[in-house]
Amino acid sequence: MFGFEFKKSAPTTYVILHQSGRVVKQGPGLSFWYFAPFCTVMDVPLNSQDVSFIFTEVTSDFQELSVQGQLSYRISAPETTSQMLEFSVDKKGKYLAATDENPMDLLGARLINATQVIAQSVIRPLPIREILKQPQAMVAGVLEGLKKSEVLGTLGVQVLDLAVLAITPSREMARALESETRERIQQQSDQAIYARRNAAVEEERRIKESELKTEIAVEEKRREIRETKMAADIALEAQRATLVDSKIENDKKEADSHAYALEATLKQVQQVDWKTLMAMAAKGGDSKLAMSMAFQELAENAAKIGQINLTPDLLQSLLADHGQNGNSNQTNSAHSKK
């Protein structure tokens, strides 16, 4: 109305009111009336902003890497930022930039350029393998460089976070790395198989050694048992030999005793005439023995005897005695046969 406009801003917007080339009002979340033909209003966002980026860099081993991520920031010095970029708005809150680009887009592009420059200084001294293995180290280096960057200080911007979503090598390098990694994994798998086989062989060897040790222990016990039995047999045989020696010694002593008794008896008998002995033996009642001794005596003295008469009665009695003795012998033999 008559060129006066009412401005109402959010708490996350830093408002700067310029009139005749000087700042009249400034602060977050202001509400005021102003005369539009002579005043300029600038809206600088204070809330955090996210800007995505993707760029390609070359590593120390001349391999290309594609880095994709997101940068989070906020405007910490709106007065400084308003001096670097055009944040003037119309009565409807739209930016009145000389170009069609939003000042926040221009700010984001400058931040991406600064990020790429710092990432280049971090990535180029490193080989591709190290970057792919430890991407967080690279991210930490870039983030620290952004926080210390003079460009961001000039723009009045504070970096909140840097998130790298992907670090991708070229297609050929990715295939080469995949092949190498695949071969290394295959080698590790083969090594694991070999190690498992070796472990199985080693375990089998231990089992066999244990079995052999068990067999050796069993054989040792058997040998000890055999030796114990042999020692017992040897002791028994020694006792038996001692017993036999004792028996032989006793038998020898007994035989010596009998021989001595017989020798003593024979000494007495040797001095006696045999005829006397025969006569003494005839005293037992054997008539035939007596008669035979008588006839033998007669035969020995036949030269001295002139004539001897043997009556039939004497011969008959002798024959009768002989016959009776023979019959009795036959009867006894027959009875024994029966």
pLDDT tens for each residue of 215-269: 999 999 999 999 999 999 898 888 888 888 888 888 888 888 888 887 777 776 6
Domain boundaries, the chain: 1-45, 48-169
Q: What is the DSSP track for 13-47?
A: EEEEEEETTEEEEEEET-EEEEEGGGEEEEEEE-S
Task: Identify which has the larger pLDDT, 46 or 263.
Answer: 46
Q: Is the pLDDT of residue 27 over 60?
A: yes
79-93: average pLDDT: 89
How far apart (Å, rounded) are the C-alpha atoms in residues 49 and 299? 175
Task: Identify which has the larger pLDDT, 215 or 310.
Answer: 215
Q: Is the pLDDT of residue 118 over 80?
A: yes
Phi, psi of 95 (to 5 degrees): -70, 140
Within its chain, how far is the Cα of 319 from the centroid? 114
The pLDDT of residue 338 is: 39
In CATH, which superfamily holds the domain spanning 48-169? Band 7 domain (3.30.479.30)
Q: Is the pLDDT of residue 326 over 80?
A: no
